[in-house]
Amino acid sequence: MNLPKKVEIIEVGPRDGLQNEANFIPTEKKIELIHTLSQTGIKRIEATSFVHPVHVPQMKDAKEVLEGVQRKEDIQYIALIPNEKGYERARQSHIDAVALVVGASDSFNQKNVRMSRRESMDRLNQVIEQAKGEGVFVRYDIATSFWCPYEGEVDPSVVLEMVNQVEALQVNEIVICDTIGRANPKQVYDLFSKVMDQSPRAQITAHFHDTYGLAQANVIAALQAGVTAFDSSIGGLGGCPFAPGAAGNGSTEDLVMMLHEMGIETGINLEKLMECVELIRPLTERPLTGHLHKVKK
């Protein structure tokens, strides 16, 4: 099997994981979660998003969360932003990195950020220039890269073209997202192989949801295609309010366990990670979808 020695894991639980929770999670609990995650060996944490508080009320405390977190020098704190206003708010909170988001599917993008795909991309070009000038790390999330909840299967050539255009803007990282968790390992292998062939110098990250229980299988497929960076969410929490039916991300603890068992380093302490699972368990009304916390020792 063609496997790397080391894989990077980006924890997106505090943002992707929590954004879909119906009940507001107290700000201090979010801060505690981010703090505990920062003690696990994880080096990059998507902490919050600067979006409209009416559209995603769970993220309305983005500023307070970032003010409350005792930042560690060796951790990159990321905030998702949809537009210029989001960037401005993130900048005021002295963010290290922004995750810009554009859907490969136009219908999803309209529902998510109320802009066409073209308008989002054009407007974010200016944000990228500004962020680069200000030393802010830019990750570019291509949402619905495989399937769209409104349009069905997404044409891979659309994603390849987007990767091409985004790479030319010299962003730091491009994230190919299976937003609704509908992709299968063959689709994943095929698309990532093409992306890696086309853009060998780009930093490519994979982002899987586990709606059909295929998130970890898709990780294996992406590893085979040469991907070595993955987003995941503690406990398997998550989902997008604008992608009906989407379940949470693949769980970080299951991913770390699987990689370690396969002899792949992550730099993450699994025991410490399980403390994070225990922290979020009482915060959500939904059962956690990760497997590891259910295993009896």
Residues that bind ligand COA (CB under 6 A): 19, 49-52, 55-56, 80, 82-83, 85-86, 89, 101, 112-114, 143, 240, 242
113 contacts which partner out of ligand COA, Zn ion, none, CB within 5 to 8 A by kind?
A: ligand COA
Nearer to Zn ion, 110 or 269 (CB): 110
Q: How far is the CB of 284 from Zn ion (least distance, A)?
A: 16
Look up residue 262 and give its amino acid: M
225 contacts which partner out of ligand COA, Zn ion, none, CB within 5 to 8 A by kind?
A: none
Nearer to ligand COA, 73 or 134 (CB): 134
C-alpha atoms less than 13 angstroms from C-alpha of 106 in its C-beta half-sphere: 4
User: Which token pair is 74?
Assistant: 């060796």
Q: How far is the CB of 9 from Zn ion (least distance, A)?
A: 14
Active-site position among 148, 177, 240, 276: 240
User: Which token pair is 86?
Assistant: 């989001």
Nearer to Zn ion, 16 or 106 (CB): 16
Torsion sign (Cα): 135, 178, 247, 42: negative
Nearer to Zn ion, 87 or 208 (CB): 208
Q: How far is the CB of 68 from ligand COA (least distance, A)?
A: 19
Known catalytic residue at 240: yes
Where does residue 10 rank: exposed (0-12), middle (13-18), buried (19+ CB within 10 A)? buried
Q: Report how far apart, in Å, the C-alpha atoms of 161 and of each of 49, 145, 164 are.
A: 26, 11, 5
Q: How far apart are alpha carbons 247 and 262 in whole angstroms?
A: 26
78 contacts which partner out of ligand COA, Zn ion, none, CB within 5 to 8 A by kind?
A: none
56 contacts which partner out of Zn ion, ligand COA, none, CB within 5 to 8 A by kind?
A: ligand COA
Q: Report how far apart, in Å, the C-alpha atoms of 131 and of each of 80, 135, 168, 217 are.
A: 13, 6, 15, 35
Q: How far is the CB of 145 from ligand COA (least distance, A)?
A: 13
Q: Which of 7, 10, 16, 276 binds Zn ion (CB under 5 A)?
A: 16
Q: How far is the CB of 61 from Zn ion (least distance, A)?
A: 20
Q: How far apart are alpha carbons 198 and 128 in whole angstroms?
A: 22
What pairing do the DSSP bridges indicate for beta strands 147-148 and 152-153?
A: antiparallel
Say whether residue 106 binds Zn ion (CB under 5 A).
Answer: no
292, 249 contact by CB (below 8 A) = no
97, 11 contact by CB (below 8 A) = no
Question: Could you tell me which stretch among 16-24, 55-63, 212-220, 267-275 binds Zn ion (CB under 5 A)?
Answer: 16-24
Nearer to ligand COA, 151 or 190 (CB): 151
Where in the sequence numbering do the catalytic residues fall?
240
Residues that bind Zn ion (CB under 5 A): 16
